[in-house]
Structure formats: C-alpha cells, structure tokens
Amino acid sequence: MSALFEPYTLREVTIPNRVWMPPMCQYSAAPEGPSAGAPGDWHFAHYAARAAGGTGLIIVEATAVSPEGRISPYDLGIWNDTQVEAFRRITGFLKSQGTVPGIQLAHAGRKASTERPWNGGAPLGAEAHGWQPLAPSALSFDDRHPVPAELTVDEIHAVVGRFADAARRALDAGFEIAEIHGAHGYLINEFLSPHSNRRTDAYGGSYENRVRFALEVVDAVRAVWPDGNPLFFRISATDWLENGGWTADDTVRFAAELHAHGIDLLDVSTGGNASGVSVPTGPGYQVPFAARVRTETPMPVAAVGLITEAEQAEKILANGEADAVLLGRELLRDPAWARRAARELGGAVHVPDQYHRSV
C-alpha cells in the first residue's frame, strides 16, 4: 500500500490517510456584529470541497482565542457560543466524508489588526475595525506596523486562560484535533524568539524563560482537551536569521519538551517572525527541519512547504522524513488532490457516491 494512504492513529483518533490540509486563513468572516468571527457560507464550501476530495485531516485556519488575537478583523474566532454553533455545520460535514476535523487556536500578537492580504495587508486603525496589538515586548514587526503594547504578567496569564477556553469551545464545536499556533511570528512565536522577546522577567531572556509562555498554553489546553484526542503544535523551526533568532537547534530541544507536556505531533514550518529575511525556497524546502525533529526526538511530525506532487509526498513518507504531509497551495488549486494522488499511487481514498464517475 502507498504510505500516503495508510491510516494514521494518534491517541484514540484515526486519520484515514496522510494527506492533510494545513491552516490557511480565508479572511472572510464578519468583522463586527453578532456574527463577528463566525464561519459562514464561504468557509463551509471551502472546507467541504476538500473533505469531499478525500483529504484525511483538515485543520481549520488560524482561529483567534480572543478578538484582539485576530490577524485581521475578518479572521475566524472561537471566543463565544455563536461561533461554536456555526462551526458545528462544518465539523459535521467533514465527519460525514470520513475527514477528521481539526482547528488551529491562535493569537496574532504584534502582527494583529491588519487589512486582508489582497487589499495590501497594512495595519488598521480604530476607524477601520482595528485595535492595539499586544506582544511580549514593545517592538514592532517592521516599519509599517505600530509598536505593540507589552503584555503584563497578569495579561499573559489571561491569554493562557483564553487558549484553554477556546479549546473547550472547539471540542463543543465538534473538532477532534486541536493545534496550538506557535509559528509565523504570531504571539507564541514572538515569546520563543530572542529576536522579538526582550523581556527581563520570568518570560524573557534565557531559553527556559522564553519557552515558559508556550508551555503554559500547552499545559492549559491539554488540561481541558480530552486524553483521547490529539493535540498538535505548529512551530517555525527557524527565524532564518544568522544571529539573534530562534534556530533549528532550539526547535529540536523544544520538541522534546513539548512531547513531554502532551503534544502529539509537531507541524513544522519556518519563518514569519523577522521581516526582510532571505528564505531559500524550493520544492520541499522545509522538510529537512521536520526530518531532523523526527530523527532526534520522540515527536511525530508533519512536513509542509511546496509539496505538490504525489510521488514527492510519497517519498517524504517512505524515507521516514515525516509522518504526514500538509499541502497548502496545492489543495487551494485542486480540492480533490488526494483522489488524484490515490489514482497515481494505487491508494484508496473516500469518494462520495455523487462523484463515483470520477474514479
């Protein structure tokens, strides 16, 4: 059997194949009012199409644990019961297609309150549904972004509680896997990296202090997330800085700690925390970071980054570089990528009765 189409079990959840969809923001929720942050028709159609296409696990886009944790005013959120009810429509359909529904719990930190990317992505003020971003230190991401407000220790503890509350709601909404967003220059990543964390208290300075917030979030979420359900963590394995940033060595060290705190799989990406850096992109360019974690720690991993072809994905798994692959842009282009890959590799994938003529 093709490795790409072997089921994969974590705790008590079995994912039917190793073709997974990573979180990709759609910036399509209402920015204010009673439905603010709730998924709508666009989100349902978007995720339903990939489930009908045979994707084994769909991790719903970065979903904010609080209003100020959104990347943009148009992001999804899971801080109230209206949002929970709207998500149930999506999780119910995904399960009906044999797809495992996952959700990424997120806080954007200093990169919050921005316009949608196709409108330029510029920071927004209060006149355009914007707000004051929060961060570990009063350091802006770049010259365009405002200086964020530095979180107090009490505010840090409150954010930890917000992640736990969001996890409870995610379970109520029907999600079977939760992922904590610790990558791409958002709040948890900002605490991890010395590039963005200049604190001098218990949450800054040494490696042990800089990982404290992330581990507190993990512990708080794991405490309310059922023992039988997997918990993922997404990480940027490197800031791509020559000096003064988070490194691949840090990631390997941290992965072992995350595993000891109850994280079941590391979703390995890179970058996003430093502006103006040069990233050597190419097919599978982030896979070596995932492979190193898998080799040097007990942590299972998923690889991401310009994985586009069925044979390429199969080789990553067959070589033991990852336990699963996450296809982003390719699943945007082709919602039925898993079905096509199954035909190429001789694998089996769920096909809705209505689409039986496509097999």
- Name 236's bridge partners: 269
The beta-carbon contacts of 38-43 under 8 Å, at least 24 apart in sequence, are 38/76, 38/77, 38/82, 38/83, 38/86, 38/87, 39/76, 39/83, 39/86, 39/87, 39/89, 39/90, 40/86, 43/76, 43/90
Domains of the chain: 21-304 (3.20.20.70)
Over residues 15-24, mean pLDDT: 98
Q: What is the pLDDT of residues 100-148, one digit of tens each?
A: 999 999 999 999 999 999 999 999 998 899 999 999 999 999 999 999 9
Number of H helices, E strands in the chain: 11, 13
> Contact, 34 vs 82, CB < 8 A?
yes
pLDDT bin (cut points 50, 70, 90) of residue 1 is confident
The pLDDT score that the predictor gives to residue 166 is 98
**Which of 190-199, 272-281, 294-303 has the lowest average pLDDT?**
272-281
The pLDDT score that the predictor gives to residue 358 is 80
> Contact, 70 vs 64, CB < 8 A?
yes
Active-site annotation holder among 27, 47, 186, 203: 186
pTM of the model: 0.97
Q: Is the pLDDT of residue 359 over 80?
A: no
How big is the chain, counted in residues? 359
Q: Beta-carbon neighbour count of residue 126 at 10 Å?
A: 9
The pLDDT score that the predictor gives to residue 357 is 86
Q: What is the pLDDT of residues 205-226, one digit of tens each?
A: 999 999 999 999 999 999 999 9
Q: What is the pLDDT of residues 146-167, one digit of tens each?
A: 999 999 999 999 999 999 999 9
Whole-angstrom CA distances from 182 to 54, 193, 196, 261, 269 are 28, 11, 13, 15, 10
pLDDT bin (cut points 50, 70, 90) of residue 266 is very high
The pLDDT score that the predictor gives to residue 307 is 97
Over residues 90-107, mean pLDDT: 98
The pLDDT score that the predictor gives to residue 82 is 97
Q: What is the pLDDT of residues 43-61, one digit of tens each?
A: 999 999 999 999 999 999 9
More confident position, 1 or 283 = 283
Q: What is the pLDDT of residues 323-350, one digit of tens each?
A: 999 999 999 999 999 999 999 999 999 9
Q: Kindly write down the DSSP assignment for every residue of 5-17, as one continuous string.
A: GS-EEETTEEES-
Please tell me the distance from the alpha carbon of residue 196 to that of residue 266, in angstroms, as a whole number. 22
The pLDDT score that the predictor gives to residue 356 is 87
The pLDDT score that the predictor gives to residue 214 is 98
The pLDDT score that the predictor gives to residue 290 is 98
The pLDDT score that the predictor gives to residue 321 is 98
Q: Amino acid letter at 138?
A: A
Q: What is the 3-state secondary structure (H, E, C) of 25-94?
A: CCCCCECCCCCECCCCHHHHHHHHHHHHCCCCEEEEEEEECCHHHCCCCCCEECCCHHHHHHHHHHHHHH
Known catalytic residue: 8?
no
